[in-house]
Structure 1
Amino acid sequence: MVTERTPSDGRELVDRLDRACLKRDTHPSRAGAELNIGFLLWPSFPLLSLAGFCDALRHAADLGDQSRPLRCTWTLLGTSATTVEASCGVAVPVQAVDGSPRQFDYLVVIGGLLPKLEQVDRRYWDYLREADASGVPLIGMCTGSFVLAHAGLMQGRVACVHAFHLKDYKTMFPNMPVVANSDYLIDGNRITCAGGVSVLELATRLISLHCGPDRASKVIHQMTVSRLGGTSFVERRKALGYLAVGDLLVRHAIVLMEENLEAPLNITVIAKMAGTSVRQLERNFLTETGMSPKEFYRTMRLRYARWLLLNTTKRITVIAYECGFADSAHFIRGFKEIYGVTPGKLKASLEARLS
């Protein structure tokens, strides 16, 4: 009888992830780190959003639990020599919004209570517009989407807000599209996030994109408790491996594939979301992996299926569904082509060895 494997010691896993990151080629961003983020804090902002995002960055930034801002850096911005008070009453020291926003890979606006939306120094608004003019991607977190919309920076863009504020957004910006059924939404160089624990999903996505999947796995491992059922992000990364890809475009596409194993995206959709053409994406994939995006995606799903077969008690029909196959027959044929054995025989042989 196959049972769920007991996870390895937490410290051992973190050490292995850290060793994996040392083998990767780094691609420094504007500030020398791989990911450099500026946080623009609005009055009465939610502390969880800032703390969650920053803690994700600090886990990704260094080895073990040393917390040095090496791989990732972050800066809290406001008016000069002041603090910004969170909605819970905690005052957070900030640096002045001086210097060019070009130093950041992203500028994150964490919005506050809506009645205080306009109660900020005009330098806040000027800095946002300067960042937009400089081509720096803007992230609206919590009611930060309201801030971006109020500044005229969400024209033609879809915003993602918390369901609690959906009616507020529609009332304040009746002609702007909005959704409330997602953790976050990437629309070109605008990213909006509903807030709360959703910030961890977004932080992990950006860390995986810029620093690699090993760093993202470490973040999830350090900041969550493993579930007894289902598969966590770390478990999925174990199954798929910690692939080091230098090409940012290919890395972006792979992140999208990893997030959509159960309901695979069309390669045309992936290319569009990655901001490129299908032809360019295919060229980059062939150079980096020796496979087309479609072949790579299919191999990834089958590799994940094999891991599920060997490490869980899930039925073959369930695994086929979780890995994006329309039916078991299609899954079994594809699996045998790659591994030379049917899923049933592989599972039976393992059970025989363990019985």
Structure 2
Amino acid sequence: MSALTSSTATPRLRVGFVLARRFTLSAFANFVDMLRLAADEGDRSRPIHCSWRVLSVTPEPVRSSCGIAVTPDEALGDPERFDYIVIVGGLIDEIEHLAPEYAAFLHRAAAARVPLVGVCTGAFILHRAGLMQGYRCCVSWFHHDDFLEQFEGILPVSDQIYVVDRDRLTCSGGASSAHLAAFLIDRHMGRAVAQKSLHIMIIDEAMAADDPQPGLPLELKTHDPLVRRALLILQQSMDAPPGVGAVAERLGVSRRKLERHFAAALGISPAEAFLRVRLSQVRLLLARSTRTIGEIALQTGFCDASHLIRVFRQQMGVTPDTWRNSLGDVLPE
């Protein structure tokens, strides 16, 4: 097919983006770059097989949470000119400031049976617009409690990277938006095109929707702000985990007070909770990487491979290698 014929062909995948105020740039960029790489041969970026447009009520640039602004391409208009409408959220505090014209546009898209995609906190925006009743939706583990606070009686999915429920697709944001985009590219253009795009972005392979999100184990979810801050401190220092006393000192409370909060919120001690977080990260690295046990031990704060093996066997009943092999190891050598 000639370049002229290609450039005038109807794209097989047409996506319209709505960016919330202070949206997450990485989530948007990962999604767009997957489309860009799928749209042409190689990485020449011609929008032949895919097209994408940023839609807005006004022509004013939309500023992301990191400060970089994106200029819209066109007005909202008719949603039926797209195969998907993707709304990219960001900071929680900005969700309620979305102009009412966007909600009306999303309702028009839903009425026309144009699938709606919520990226990052885009799921919050779709729920707030009344467009997620009866649908499952994915939110980041980091925003799990925020979602419960805003939407009573709705349990979000926070242990998968994305969820596809009929004509509603939602993902946790960040790198997961590339995998959701890969799913759409696979659906419309084939697996080979999706894999090519992932490989150019230095992503080994597409993750399935039910692959787990990295983050806190769901049994450690809590509304207690002190406990949440303590767990966040641990996550930020995984390779050199601070002791319970050091965490309490950083939080400006006594060790005893921190222990009381953990007991009330989670029914376990801070030390046990911290160990669960580290072992959760160990399991994630075992499942998703070819790192050695020694390398994983160093990344998760264990003294060495033998220390990790001993603790892992005590908690899981098997060694890390046995656990990894039980997954049906398909990781590259």
Same fold (TM over 0.5): yes
Give the Cα–Cα distance (whole angstroms) in 1 for the partners of residues 148 and 326 of structure 2: 40
Code of the aligned partner of 1:321: G
Please tell me whether residue 70 in structure 1 is matched to residue 44 in structure 2. no
Structure 1 residue 319 displacement after superposition: 9.9
Deviates more, 1:120-129 or 1:183-192: 120-129
Code of the aligned partner of 1:43: R
Aligned to 2:328: 321
Please tell me whether residue 134 in structure 1 is matched to residue 112 in structure 2. yes
Structure 1 unmatched ranges of 5 or more: 1-21, 23-30, 227-231, 235-254, 261-316, 324-355
State the identity %.
40
Structure 2 unmatched ranges of 5 or more: 2-8, 212-323
Matches within 5 A, 1:28-177: 32-177=10-155
Structure 1 residue 157 displacement after superposition: 1.1
Code of the aligned partner of 1:50: F
Change over 3 Å in CA distance of 1:160–1:214 after alignment to 2: same
Highest RCO, 1 vs 2 (Cα 8 Å, sep ≥ 6): 1
Contact persistence 1:157–1:177 (CA under 8 A):
no
Structure 1 segments (4+ residues) deviating >3 Å:
95-98, 317-323
Contact persistence 2:140–2:173 (CA under 8 A):
yes
Code of the aligned partner of 2:179: E
Contact persistence 2:85–2:115 (CA under 8 A):
yes
Please tell me whether residue 187 in structure 1 is matched to residue 194 in structure 2. no
Give the Cα–Cα distance (whole angstroms) in 1 for the partners of residues 149 and 78 of structure 2: 34
3-state SS, counterpart of residue 18 of structure 2: strand
Structure 1 residue 91 displacement after superposition: 0.9
Code of the aligned partner of 1:221: H
RMSD of Structure 2 on Structure 1 (CA): 2.7
Structure 1 residue 112 displacement after superposition: 2.4
Matches within 5 A, 1:204-353: 204-224=182-202, 232=205, 321-322=328-329
Contact persistence 2:85–2:116 (CA under 8 A):
yes
The CA deviation string for residues 133-174 of structure 1, in whole angstroms up to 9 with x for no partner, is 110000111000000000000101111100110001011101
Structure 1 residue 184 displacement after superposition: 0.2
State TM-score, norm by structure 1. 0.56
3-state SS, counterpart of residue 184 of structure 2: helix
Structure 1 residue 117 displacement after superposition: 1.1
Give the Cα–Cα distance (whole angstroms) in 2 for the partners of residues 196 and 320 of structure 1: 26
Give the Cα–Cα distance (whole angstroms) in 1 for the partners of residues 59 and 203 of structure 2: 38
Structure 1 residue 110 displacement after superposition: 0.5
State TM-score, norm by structure 2. 0.59
3-state SS, counterpart of residue 167 of structure 1: helix
